[in-house]
Amino acid sequence: MRLPVMASKIQFRGWHAAAFMVGMSALSYASTRKGARAYWQGLNKTQATPPAWVFPAVWSGLNVLQLWADLRVLNNPDLPDRNKVLGLRAANWALYALFTPTFFRAKSPIAGEMVTLAEGVTAGATVAILAGRDPLAAAALVPLTLWTGYAALVGGQIAAKNPDNIVDRLRWEGAF
């Protein structure tokens, strides 16, 4: 199914991407509770876990690459499977927004791990679809796919070594 003609005439610009990122950052900030830094520092982590300062640096670069790829897709109404790609990208950004409240606010390393795994799957699926249609956009999303793969490995180890508020509550309520 193609988007309506009117939508195909819109040219998305860098300022649209910047405004979107400001909104996503505000959402992430609003979903963080006080004590997130202390929570992270108190977790039992493996040696493979990067220092805390690495995350904002890596995610800033990943977000620039994602937004650049998204602009390419948004501005190409004739791209085959464009709606599939846009759906995957929307899911990916929703998962990005969901990580902070699940991991830090709910203090659930397991839920955070599930979000990370899903983000990696959506990123990888997007790369696979775009590879033959827009190789530059696909290449821009490869680092996200690799980072989420690495983050899933580290996150799985963190989830295995630490308490989880959601799982503990479910146990308390007799879910398992």
Which of 115, 90, 93 lies closest to 102 in space, CA to CA? 115
Query: Picking from 5-19, 52-66, 82-96, which range would have the lowest pLDDT averaged per residue?
Result: 5-19
- Type of residue numbered 51: P
Prediction pTM value: 0.87
Please name the residue that has the structure tokens 């996503």: 24
Query: Picking from 32-41, 78-87, 90-99, 120-129, which range would have the lowest pLDDT averaged per residue?
Result: 32-41
**Angle between the 82-100 and 109-130 helix axes, to the nearest 10 degrees?**
160
- Checking if the pLDDT of 2 tops 60, the result is no
If one counts every other C-beta atom within 10 angstroms of the C-beta of residue 154, the result is 17
Domains, the chain, with CATH or none: 10-172 (1.20.1260)
**CA separation for the pair 29, 26 (Å, rounded):** 5
The pLDDT > 90 percentage for the chain reads 76
Find out whether 120 and 148 touch, Cβ atoms under 8 Å.
yes
